[in-house]
Amino acid sequence: MVTLHILQLKSCPVFQQLQIEEALLRADERNWCLVNEGSPSAIVMGISGKPELLINEEHLAHKPVPVIRRFSGGGTVFVDEQTQFITLIGNSEQLQVPCCPQKILQWTHSLYLPVFQHPQFQVKENDYVFGDRKFGGNAQYMRKNRWLHHSSLLWDFHPENMNYLKIPPRMPEYRQKRGHIEFLCRLRDHMAARDEIVKKLLKELKCRFHLVEVQLHEIDEVKKLPHRKATEKL
């Protein structure tokens, strides 16, 4: 059985989380699942995102939060303590999941089916949705025979925080130009308790892999290894 290493974080700032992910992707060869909750508020952009097109700079100046450019693609999100982060990093040959965005999404969809247990759970374009409302945004990175898929899942969100984000110039077709509030939904409205997400995920992973729990201090040496570091604060 293939080994999957588990790193569980609490209240880890998303900037630090992304630095860890980048190190595990680029400087390590193991398969990983990283979970994090309780991150302080921040705006996270894809590597090619342009702040002037995606962020309400007037609102940001009034109520500043960190703005982070991650090393992967994808859209712009506001994250806080109500965001559940889950990241999967794998070797395509070991996991038998090719370095192809749609193949990865097909695999993660099957992984999450028993986690969310909702009749309308599906992948639409690059998003996790119930029906036509998004609760999870995803971004991916692929290198050689190794890929990363990270997700920001909305357990809850404060509507006023959506004021940090402009309506993006490019959006999924299924969004149909809806505003943030009309487009999004909350997992808390569909699950009894937040800790169910990780409990059910670990249960499903245990059926597929040999799981090895890892503590944060154990990856310090990986972080010190030479590797490209594209995650940055703006």
pLDDT digits (tens, 9 = 90+) for 20-66: 999 999 999 999 999 999 999 999 999 999 999 999 999 999 999 99
pLDDT for 114 equals 97
Q: Can you tell me the mean pLDDT for 129-136?
A: 98
pLDDT value for 20: 98
How far is the CA of 135 from the CAs of 73, 143, 186, 200, in angstroms?
18, 27, 6, 17
- Is residue 140 within 8 Å of residue 108, measured between CB atoms? no
> Residue 128: its pLDDT value, please?
98
Name 21's Cβ contacts closer than 8 Å, sequence gap at least 6.
34, 71, 87, 89, 148, 150
Which of helix, strand or coil describes residue 103?
helix
pLDDT range class, residue 153, cuts 50, 70, 90: very high
pLDDT at 166: 96
pLDDT at 201: 98
Tell me the residue length of the chain: 234
Q: What is the pLDDT of residue 143?
A: 93
User: Using one digit for the tens of pLDDT, what is the confidence trace for 59-92?
Assistant: 999 999 999 999 999 999 999 999 999 999 999 9
Phi and psi of 56, rounded to 5°?
-80, 95
pLDDT category at 117 given cuts 50, 70, 90 is very high
Using pLDDT thresholds of 50, 70 and 90, give the confidence band for residue 118: very high
What is residue 52's predicted lDDT score, i.e. its pLDDT?
A: 96
**Who contacts 22 (Cβ-Cβ below 8 Å, separation ≥6)?**
71, 227, 228, 229, 230, 231
pLDDT of residue 193: 97
Going by pLDDT thresholds of 50, 70 and 90, the confidence category of residue 198 is very high
Q: What is the pTM of this model?
A: 0.96
Q: Once rounded to an integer, what is the mean pLDDT over residues 141-162?
A: 96
In the CATH scheme, what is the homologous superfamily, with its name and number, of domain 3-224?
Bira Bifunctional Protein; Domain 2 (3.30.930.10)
CA separation for the pair 131, 110 (Å, rounded): 17
Q: What is the mean pLDDT of the chain?
A: 97
How much of the chain exceeds pLDDT 90, in percent?
99
